[in-house]
Amino acid sequence: MTSDSHVDGNALGGVLMEVFGREMTGARGRCASCGSVGPIGAMLVYRSAGDVMRCPTCGNVVVVVATIHERTRVHLAGMTWPETNQ
């Protein structure tokens, strides 16, 4: 098994939906680092102390989800949202 163990943006679907009040994995996000745009569900998610979502093109961090004292915070570290899909 590869040690580069990551999952897809789908894995954060619940958290993102809770925070934004709508389905987000089908929405497209723009990486603030390289500018590439793609579905959030297709981004790479690394799970460790928190969840780190990275751009599948350049690898930079786009979103960090950290649960601190039972409060979950979604940090839009390097993503902008050009559109949603409804």
> Which residues contribute to the site for another protein (CB under 8 A)?
1-11, 13-14, 17-18, 21-27, 39-42, 46-50, 52, 54, 59, 61, 64, 66, 68-69, 73, 75, 83-86
Least distance in angstroms from the C-beta of 4 to another protein = 5
Give the whole-angstrom CA distance, residue 76 versus residue 64: 7
Position 59, amino acid:
G
Least distance in angstroms from the C-beta of 20 to another protein = 10
Residue number, 23 or 32, with CB nearest to another protein: 23
Least distance in angstroms from the C-beta of 83 to another protein = 7
Cβ distance 56 to 41 under 8 Å?
Answer: no
And the tokens for 19?
Answer: 């925070």
